[in-house]
């Protein structure tokens, strides 16, 4: 039985109402998209068949939702049960993030009414990287629903069902570790499939899956820190810095591995010149690298990791770094050839903002109604 409790309190706070307004605006543009077609809202074209909906909602959004995945590896693979109090909140964020990532993919489908073909073997393209991603994400959403189900069962007092589920939960925990590992690495393989269209600084045939997985893990741990810090301030919860500082140490280790692989590949393949070319790609690479390096420097010492403000800013830097890495690879430096350009329309941006606003509203409602967060600190 979890010691988490519903926070209670008013649902319709000023923050909730602001998110509601943004959500309604986003839904207006989404309505236009479904009534008048994608071209009425999105600026995508033959050279850029995907835009911000796929890159943010799927490629970046699922990485931002890897908190449950990262903690599951730490708790259940490396037997670090001390992090368990953070697990349910991370699972909720993962569930909302992946579910809305799936919604984003559905929105971006040209023939969305045929989405079910993804699940029909006779219609599957087994040579497509995105098939594996789509199947894994779909299955993982179902796994997250089951993993988070104890919170609902505790709330309604279904202790008999909860007892049965707890005995079977190890199966879904194993799937919850396997599936993100598969589809996050496959997003890296997707870049390999795009070949020369991906800028040299972001293209590597041998290490793309590893880099995608490392950034997903670091973003997952970082979102746990950000979420816990934001919840502490928003809901007046106890300070969890002592526990979060240990996650900061894990982030440093992962980032050091990432930077060694990233720069090792660039040096070995003679691409150092691209870093100092002085063009848009080199500037984006340098900015991205600085955002990756800042958390390493900030969290290298134990004293700095014990500072909640430093810890939060390091996590924010890592989230921006991982997001920029994926934006750069999939969109900002992507070159489909002459004659094509892309810049997101107001409608595209507002649909994405509306989806994020809904995710925030859903999180606020669930932590107030379900046993998700702990009201006492854990060392």
pLDDT in tens, 297-310: 999 998 999 999 99
Q: Is residue 378 pLDDT above 60, yes or no? A: no
Band (78; pLDDT cuts 50, 70, 90): confident
pLDDT of residue 110: 83
pLDDT of residue 2: 60
Average confidence (pLDDT) over 196-225: 95
Please report, rounded to a whole number, the percentage of residues in the chain having pLDDT higher than 90: 75
pLDDT of residue 379: 52
Residue 89 to residue 174: CA distance in whole angstroms: 19
Which two three-digit tokens encode residue 348?
A: 């595209």
The C-alpha torsion from 277 through 281 and 284 to 290, rounded to 10°, is -50
Average confidence (pLDDT) over 57-63: 92
Q: Which residue has the tokens 């049965």?
A: 164
Q: Is residue 377 pLDDT above 70, yes or no? A: no
Average confidence (pLDDT) over 177-186: 93
In 3D space, the residue among 266, 255, 267, 260 whose CA is nearest the CA of residue 214 turns out to be 255
- Tell me which DSSP letter residue 35 carries: H
Q: What is the pTM of this model?
A: 0.93
Long-range contact pairs involving 339-344 (C-beta distance under 8 Å, separation at least 24): 339/47, 340/45, 340/46, 340/47, 340/48, 341/47, 341/48, 342/43, 342/44, 342/45, 342/47, 342/48, 342/51, 343/43, 344/42, 344/43, 344/51, 344/52
Q: Under a CB-based contact definition with an 8 Å cutoff, are residues 135 and 120 in contact?
A: no
Average confidence (pLDDT) over 240-248: 90
pLDDT of residue 128: 80
Average confidence (pLDDT) over 12-23: 96
Which two three-digit tokens encode residue 293?
A: 């390096």
Q: Is residue 72 pLDDT above 90, yes or no? A: yes
Average confidence (pLDDT) over 231-248: 86
Residue 333 to residue 178: CA distance in whole angstroms: 31
- Listing DSSP states for 208-244 in one string gives HHHHHHHHHHHHHHHHHHHHHHHHHHHHTPPP-HHHH
Band (203; pLDDT cuts 50, 70, 90): very high
Q: Is residue 375 pLDDT above 80, yes or no? A: no
Choice among 1-15, 210-224, 325-339 with the minimum mean pLDDT: 1-15
Q: Is residue 376 pLDDT above 90, yes or no? A: no
Handedness of CA 221, 103, 59, 117 (dihedral sign): positive
Band (111; pLDDT cuts 50, 70, 90): confident
Report the half-sphere exposure of 253 (CA within 13 A, side-chain side): 8
Average confidence (pLDDT) over 96-109: 90
Residue 21 to residue 23: CA distance in whole angstroms: 5
* Residue 316: how many other CB atoms lie within 10 Å: 17
Choice among 104-113, 348-357, 361-370 with the minimum mean pLDDT: 104-113
Band (374; pLDDT cuts 50, 70, 90): confident
- The chain-wide mean pLDDT, for the chain, equals 92
Average confidence (pLDDT) over 323-345: 94
Q: Is residue 112 pLDDT above 60, yes or no? A: yes
């Amino acid at each position: 039985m979890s010691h988490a409790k519903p926070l209670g309190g008013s649902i319709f706070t000023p923050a909730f109402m602001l998110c509601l307004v943004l959500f309604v605006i986003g839904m207006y543009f989404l309505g236009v998209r479904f009534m008048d077609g994608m071209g009425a809202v999105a600026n995508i074209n033959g050279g850029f068949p995907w835009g911000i909906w796929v890159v943010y909602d799927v490629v970046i959004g699922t990485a931002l939702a890897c908190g449950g995945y990262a903690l599951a590896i730490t708790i259940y693979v490396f037997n670090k049960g001390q992090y368990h109090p953070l697990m349910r909140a991370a699972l909720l964020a993962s569930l909302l993030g992946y579910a809305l990532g799936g919604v984003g993919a559905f929105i971006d489908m040209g023939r969305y009414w045929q989405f079910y073909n993804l699940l029909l073997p006779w219609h599957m393209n087994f040579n497509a990287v995105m098939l594996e991603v789509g199947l894994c994400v779909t299955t993982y959403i179902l796994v997250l629903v089951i993993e988070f189900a104890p919170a609902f069962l505790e709330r309604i007092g279904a202790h008999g069902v909860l007892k049965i589920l707890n005995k079977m939960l190890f199966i879904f925990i194993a799937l919850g570790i396997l599936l993100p590992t598969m589809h996050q690495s496959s997003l890296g393989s997707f870049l390999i499939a795009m070949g020369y269209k991906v800028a040299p600084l972001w293209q590597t045939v041998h290490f793309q899956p590893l880099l995608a997985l490392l950034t997903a893990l670091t973003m997952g741990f970082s979102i746990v820190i950000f979420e816990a810090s934001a919840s502490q301030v928003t809901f007046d919860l106890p300070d969890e810095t002592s526990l979060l500082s240990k996650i900061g140490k894990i982030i440093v280790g992962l980032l050091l591995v990432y930077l060694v692989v990233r720069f090792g590949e660039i040096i070995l393949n003679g691409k150092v010149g691209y870093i100092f070319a002085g063009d848009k790609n080199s500037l984006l690479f340098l900015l991205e690298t600085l955002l990756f390096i800042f958390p390493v420097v900030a969290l290298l010492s134990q004293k700095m990791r014990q500072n909640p403000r430093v810890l939060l800013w390091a996590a924010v830097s890592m989230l921006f770094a991982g997001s920029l890495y994926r934006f750069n690879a999939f969109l900002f430096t992507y070159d489909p050839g002459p004659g094509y350009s892309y810049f997101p329309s107001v409608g595209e941006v507002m649909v994405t903002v509306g989806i994020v606003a809904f995710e925030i509203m859903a999180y606020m409602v669930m932590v107030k109604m379900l046993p998700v967060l702990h009201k006492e600190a854990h060392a």
